[in-house]
Amino acid sequence: MSKVSHELPLLKSSALTLMNFVHAYRINILGLLMGVMFGFLMSRAGATTFDFHVKLFLFEDLQLLKVIGTAVIVAMLGVFMLKKLHINALATGTEVDFVKKPYQQGLIAGAFLFGIGWAMTAACPGTIPAMIAEGKIGAVFSLIGLLLGTLAYGILQSFIAHNGSYRAAMK
């Protein structure tokens, strides 16, 4: 019985490893790239600039209203087309899932608190990481607050789910 070598040349072996890695993590890699694109566009749209938010709500400069208005209409047409053509998603090969956020108790109260936070920080969860990367120190504090607020919600939900028992909620 002769010994069969499974060793491939280094270049081919590393190329195969890389391809395997990319294939196994393709959804996360695509997510990362989409995030890069999103952050870039948020910055170019002016959504990472403090003054555009203030000027929108004081009706002095409607830049961000133009942005979101155009974006929603373009996206609406695109979603309509995707639905009509029954397009499959490239990453999964299955039909695109247009799952909608349901109405949940507290939606209006939550949205109201969110709006106050928006006006206080001139940011929303999607723009804060981009603002930090642009060198806006203020956004670091917004991020700390954002994580604390998200955490507070999780702690509250854990308590409710375990009937207020600290032991059961935090283990």
Can residue 21 be called a binding residue for other proteins (CB under 8 A)?
Answer: no
The only residue of 4, 6, 9, 98 in contact with other proteins, by rule CB under 8 A: 98
Sign of the Cα pseudo-torsion (39, 110, 74, 67, in order): negative
Q: What is the DSSP letter of 6?
A: -
Can residue 24 be called a binding residue for other proteins (CB under 8 A)?
Answer: no
Can residue 7 be called a binding residue for other proteins (CB under 8 A)?
Answer: no
Nearer to other proteins, 13 or 165 (CB): 165
Rounded to an integer, what distance in angstroms lies between the CA atom of residue 150 and that of residue 171?
Answer: 19
Sole residue written with tokens 């639905």: 83
Can residue 107 be called a binding residue for other proteins (CB under 8 A)?
Answer: yes
For the chain, report the end-to-end CA distance as a whole number of angstroms: 56
The only residue of 12, 94, 163, 164 in contact with other proteins, by rule CB under 8 A: 94
What one-letter code names the amino acid at 58? L
Can residue 119 be called a binding residue for other proteins (CB under 8 A)?
Answer: yes
From 4-12, 13-21, 145-153, span contacting other proteins (CB under 8 A):
145-153
Rounded to an integer, what distance in angstroms lies between the CA atom of residue 92 and that of residue 27?
Answer: 8
CB of 26 to other proteins, least distance (A): 10
